[in-house]
Amino acid sequence: MVFHSLSLIIYAAPTEVVPTKIKSLVSPYVSPLFEQQWSMFAPCPLVEGSVLMNIQHEDGETGWIHPAGESNEWHRIFRMTHHAEIALLEANLVYWINYDKDDFGLRLDQEFDYEIAWIFKEQGHSYYLLQRYIYGVACNMGIKPLSADLKCEMHNVKTGEEGTLYYPRYLWKW
Same domain, 30 and 81: no
Structural domain of 28: 2-40
Please write the tens of the pLDDT for every residue from 54-63: 999 999 999 9
Q: Are residues 51 and 30 in the same domain?
A: no
pTM above 0.85, yes or no: no
Residues 83 and 14 in one domain: no
Which percentage of the chain shows pLDDT scores above 70?
A: 92
pLDDT in tens, 35-76: 655 555 656 678 889 999 999 999 999 999 998 888 778 777
Per-residue pLDDT at 162 = 93
What per-residue confidence (pLDDT) applies to 143? 94
Tell me, yes or no, whether 8 and 52 share the same domain. Answer: no
Q: How far apart are CA 165 and CA 154, in angstroms?
A: 7
Kindly state whether residues 121 and 145 are assigned to the same domain: yes
Instruction: List, in order, residues 6 or more apart from 142 with CB less than 8 Å away.
Output: none
* 36 and 55 assigned to the same domain: no
Task: Say if residue 86 is in the same domain as residue 26.
Answer: no
pLDDT digits (tens, 9 = 90+) for 114-164: 777 777 778 888 888 999 999 999 998 999 999 999 999 999 988 899 999
Whether 53 and 116 share a structural domain: yes
Where would I find the H helices in the chain?
Answer: 2-12, 20-34, 69-77, 83-104, 117-123, 125-141
Whether residues 35 and 51 fall in one domain: no
Q: Are residues 125 and 85 in the same domain?
A: yes
Q: Are residues 72 and 156 in the same domain?
A: yes
Domain count, the chain: 2
Q: To the nearest whole percent, how much of the chain has pLDDT over 90?
A: 30
* Inter-residue contact 147 to 172 (CB < 8 Å): yes
The verdict on 84 and 8 lying in the same domain is: no
CA separation for the pair 30, 20 (Å, rounded): 14
Query: Which helix (DSSP H) or strand (DSSP E) does residue 79 occupy?
Result: none
Computed over every residue of the chain, the mean pLDDT equals 85
